[in-house]
Amino acid sequence: MNEYIFIILAVLATGGRVIGLILLSILSGWLLAYAAIKSKIFENLFISFIEVFESVPVISFFPIVLIIFVDRIGGPLGVEFAADFLVFTAVVWNIWMGQYQAYKTIPSEMVEVTENYNFSLWMKLRNVYIPFSIPRIVANLFPSISDGFFYITVSEVFTIGITSYSTFGVGSPIDKFAADGNFRMLIVTFLALGIFVILLIELVRRIGNHAVAKYTIDTDSPIIKRGKARIRQTSRFSAIVSQNTLGKLASYTRVRKGPEDLEELYSKEKKNGKIGIIAGVIVLAIFAYIMYSIIIFVMSVSGSEWSYLFSQTPSLLYGLLIDYIRVLIITGASIAFAFTLGYLLATRRKAEAVGVPIIQTFSSYPVPAYFPFIFLGIYPIFASVLGSQAEEGIVLLLGFIATFYYVFYSFWMGIKAMPAEYNEIMKNLDMGFFKKMRYVIIPSTFPYLISGISSTINSAWGGLEIGEYWPDIAGGKTLEIHTGLMKTIDVATRSGNIALAGWASFLFAIIVAVYSILFTRKMMDLARKKYVAEEGIYSV
């Protein structure tokens, strides 16, 4: 087959794989998020599940992929399912988190309307929950697309021990051309992938602008500086809101409940509780199956092996502590990047039209394919500035490249979704940049920021695992840091030491689960109670 046709077909196959799995993530997330807000038990399970698996790098799913898909299903179909599963784990978690965060921050007036008018489950989802979640979904589409393409080379072409597996997609030509040293065709592949990503992002950006215009509680009526009421503008406000799906609900009056109505409401609340219970049972069944598989595996481990694993636990926990420090540094840099460039692009349309596609295209290129060239260029600079810590600085840069777009896109979309009245107030009061940030923008975008920061923290581990141990990265050099849990997992996986990799991942999962309960859920609850910008409309 002609190489150019092969590249085009591979790019289309990868694009279809990523888009299809993102759509699956959205559809499943609408139901799971609703079940989570209706049941505290399922909510705890759901959030912990997302936090743990979002934090576990794609590479760490290789043992699961090997056992479930490659060994038990086998053949090309098993490898295809394995690749789809790996891509799914790269794109799904932040979408589910964004949908959950959207459902948690729906203004209470809207929820009350759905109860007063006795909406069925489908009517609630179609008229309130799904429309309200669309801006948050769009905000998370950008990092999901980036993640899908970012990890494509390790998803479509992966190695466990000494065995390599591959399925058709752009990862195949990238891996082949890089191995053969065919840089001309490698560049052609990058160009084809870049063109596809630019077209896809332009489509998503247009969908995002439409979603913000249609599905945010907003008006275009101006705020009068002197505070005089204008009947014409009040009528205009009502006309505008009446055209908006969410606005219609916001304009409904509250209805008094009689005894019969209250009985019906209590009955519906019981049904909602049953939905959460059913979803919880399903999750528990899946969890039970996973635990059963783990128990079978544990029983196959010898006593001497367990002694070895327990002896490694202190060093594993120390490595995790060092990695958490790296993650905090990466997160801080990502927030600073979002607060500056994200604000600039959100408030300047021309800059946004150029900047967003550039950032998206850059973040979508698979790092294992191009970072070796960056390494060759920056290593002498880092070595002269940082000395023996040059590798540490390069790993932090790699981690930043792998995750900066999460909080960037969340903050950028949060600004775009702010009620227009807030922008008018900032303009009328002639507020400076820092005052805008402190008093209006950060509080208004807080629910978006929490979702983006949580995804940044959880996904930074993937960049660390790629960078902490990278043998023969370029020029005969190996990128390797001294201490880190991700390095231990990577080395163990490459060498086929599944027991050590599994034990390290298990300890890692416990810490992440505790973090999800103590940080993410509490911050989501805080966002719902204090920082729902849309409720400012009702307080006017």
The percent of residues above 90 in pLDDT, for the chain, comes to 7
pLDDT the model gives residue 122 = 83
Q: Which two tokens stand for residue 390?
A: 């040059």
Is 163 strand, coil or helix? strand
Same domain, 191 and 308: no
Residue 318 pLDDT class (50, 70, 90 cuts): very high
Residue 219: its pLDDT value, please?
Answer: 38
Between β-strands 163-166 and 157-160, what pairing exists: parallel, antiparallel or unpaired?
A: antiparallel
Pair (343, 204) in one structural domain: no
| In a domain? residue 500 | yes
Whether the predicted pLDDT of 333 surpasses 90:
yes
In the predicted model, what is the mean pLDDT of residues 77-83? 78
pLDDT the model gives residue 254: 40
Query: 467 and 347 share a domain?
Result: yes
Are residues 316 and 203 part of one domain? no
pLDDT of the residue at 74: 67
What pLDDT is stored for residue 162 in this prediction? 55
Q: How many domains does the chain have?
A: 2
Does residue 500 contact residue 488 with C-beta atoms inside 8 Å? yes
CB 45 within 8 Å of CB 517: no
Highest-confidence range of 20-24, 63-67, 212-216, 265-269, by mean pLDDT? 20-24
Same domain, residue pair 351 and 453: yes
For residue 281, name the pLDDT band (cuts at 50, 70, 90). low
More confident site: 153 or 331: 331
Q: CA geometry: angle at 145 spanning 142 and 146, to 5°?
A: 85
Both 334 and 207 in one domain: the answer is no
Q: Which pLDDT value is given to residue 244? A: 42
Q: Which residue has the tokens 């990466």?
A: 330
Q: What is the mean pLDDT of residues 462-469?
A: 83
Q: What is the pLDDT of residue 406?
A: 81
Please report the pLDDT score of residue 335 as a whole number: 92
Asked if 10 and 173 touch (Cβ cutoff 8 Å), the reply is yes
State how far the Cα of 148 lies from the Cα of 134, in Å rounded to an integer.
20
User: Tell me, what's the pLDDT at 326?
Assistant: 93
In a domain, residue 224? The reply is: no
Q: Does one domain contain both 497 and 378? A: yes
Query: Whole-angstrom Cα distance, residue 153 to residue 87?
Result: 10
Q: Does 77 share its domain with 174?
A: yes
Model confidence band, residue 462 (pLDDT cutoffs 50, 70, 90): confident
- Nearest CA-CA partner of 104 in 521, 458, 440: 521
Contact residues for 307 (Cβ-Cβ < 8 A; gap 6+): none
| pLDDT the model gives residue 237 | 33
Q: Is the pLDDT reported for residue 468 higher than 50?
A: yes
Residue 374 confidence (pLDDT): 87
Partner residues linked to 166 by β-bridges: 157
pLDDT at 229: 36
Q: What integer pLDDT is reported at residue 158 of this predicted model? A: 62
Nearest to 222 by CA among 232, 212, 210, 214: 232
User: Can you give the pLDDT at residue 527?
Assistant: 62
CA dihedral defined by 509, 514, 516, 521, rounded to 10 degrees? 160
Q: Which of 378, 62, 3, 49 is nearest to 192 (CA)?
A: 3
Average pLDDT, the chain: 75
Residues 214 and 306 in one domain: no
Within this chain, do residues 178 and 73 fall inside the same structural domain, yes or no?
yes
Query: Is 279 part of any domain?
Result: no
For residues 501 and 466, what is the distance between their CA atoms, to the nearest angstrom? Answer: 15
Is 268 part of a structural domain of the chain?
no
* pLDDT on residue 282: 66
- Please check whether residues 43 and 171 belong to one and the same domain: yes
Which of 187, 202, 218 delimits the end of a domain?
218
Q: Out of 113-117, 286-290, 349-353, which region has the weakest mean confidence (pLDDT)? A: 286-290
Confidence of residue 233 (pLDDT cuts 50, 70, 90): very low
In a domain, 248, yes or no: no
Reported as a single tens digit per residue, the pLDDT across 351-400 is: 888 887 788 777 766 676 678 888 888 999 999 998 888 999 999 999 89
User: Domain residues for 324?
Assistant: 302-533
Give me the CATH number covering residue 99. 1.10.3720.10
Cα 385–chain centre separation: 34
Identify whether 124 is part of a domain: yes
Amino acid symbol at 279: A
Average pLDDT over residues 142-165: 68
Of 115, 109, 128, nearest to 33 by C-alpha is 128
171, 188, 218: which is the final residue of a domain? 218
Would you say residue 167 has pLDDT above 70? yes
Q: Could you tell me if residue 540 is inside a domain?
A: no
DSSP state of 254: P
**Is the entire prediction scored with pTM above 0.75?**
no
pLDDT, residue 461, reads 79
Burial class (CB in 10 A: 0-12, 13-18, 19+), 502: buried
Residue 271 pLDDT more than 60? Answer: no
Give, to the nearest 10 degrees, the angle between helix 521-530 and helix 40-55.
120
Last residue of a domain, one of 186, 218, 250: 218
> Residue range 216-234: average pLDDT?
39
Q: How confident is the model at residue 61 (pLDDT cuts 50, 70, 90)?
A: low
Q: What is the pLDDT of residues 469-522, one digit of tens each?
A: 888 787 778 888 888 988 888 888 777 777 787 788 778 877 876 776 677 667
**If you average pLDDT over residues 514-533, what whole number do you get?**
65
Q: What is the mean pLDDT of residues 82-92?
A: 80
Q: Is the pLDDT of residue 325 over 90?
A: yes
Q: What is the mean pLDDT of residues 207-226?
A: 55
Q: Give the pLDDT mean for 402-413.
A: 83
Tell whether 211 and 308 lie within a shared domain: no
Q: Quick check: is 276 in a domain? A: no
Within 13 Å, how many C-alpha atoms sit on residue 189's CB side?
A: 27
Summarised one tens digit per residue, pLDDT across range 253-263 is 344 444 455 45
pLDDT in tens, 14-49: 888 889 989 988 988 898 888 888 888 888 778 777
